[in-house]
Amino acid sequence: MGDDYAAYLEERSARVVRLRSWIAAELGGADAVTLEFGCGHGHFLAGYAAERPEEWCVGLDLRTRRIRLAEAKARKRGLDRTRFVKAEAMEFLDALEGGPRVGRAFMLFPDPWPKKRHRKHRMLQAAFLARLADLAAPGACLHFRTDHAENFAWALEQVAEHPRWTLRPDAPWPHETGTYFQEVTGGRYQSFTAQASK
């Protein structure tokens, strides 16, 4: 193992430890949580949570500024059970072990990483799906939406081939606040819902 990789693993595990403390402090009372991976400015999750004040919701994103803007939205709307946190998707899932279950998850307009050699950067991967299924509450669904046709087809294939997920073509889309990127696409996007099993 090279020094750089060892340093990366050490930093990653320190971030997971910090996130675990954050989860204990912020979500201590929650049995289940709704997650949005790559929440951007939090537009969608703030709209979703405003209609469900009883539900614990967490939006996570890599970009600090986007998280600050999302937090301001939650404060302004008095969303007591909604949190936004700067976190990488898999690191957050690792930190969630032993905490609340995932009751529902959204991934909306993720970065498409269109070049084949960059696909490894996509958030939705087989390992991500396996981890999310481990942490899912019974019946939990993942809702995915993108305007990028190839990314959509690829994500659909990952889910269709995954033994722990079942596509649910008839499931209603739970909430329709447009995200920032959804507004930019002018309505050309595709969605799917999949349900986790143990």
Ligand X SMILES: C[S@@+](CC[C@H](N)C(=O)[O-])C[C@H]1O[C@@H](n2cnc3c(N)ncnc32)[C@H](O)[C@@H]1O
**Residue of 82, 151, 182, 195 that binds ligand X (CB under 6 A):** 182
Please work out the total of residues on this chain that contact ligand X, with binding judged by CB under 6 A. Answer: 20
C-alpha separations of 100 from 33, 60, 183 in Å? 6, 16, 32
The answer to whether the beta carbons of residues 84 and 74 sit under 8 Å apart is yes
Is 61 designated active site? no
Quick note: the x/- pattern for ligand X over 112-151, rule CB under 6 A, is -----------x----------------------------
- Select from 18-26, 61-69, 73-81, 165-173 the region that touches ligand X (CB under 6 A): 61-69
How much helix, strand and coil, in percent to the nearest 5, is found in the chain? 45, 25, 35
Contact partners, residue 122, CB within 8 Å, separation at least 6: 110, 111, 112, 113, 151, 154, 155
CA distance 40 to 140: 23
**Residue of 27, 40, 56, 82 that binds ligand X (CB under 6 A):** 40
Based on CB atoms, which residue is closest to ligand X, 56 or 181?
Answer: 181
Asked whether position 46 contacts ligand X by CB under 6 A, the answer is: no
Q: For the CB of residue 175, give the shortest distance to ligand X in the complex, in Å.
A: 13
CA distance 30 to 74: 18
- State the residues that interact with ligand X by CB under 6 A: 37-40, 60-63, 66, 88-89, 108-111, 123, 179-182
Catalytic residues: 111
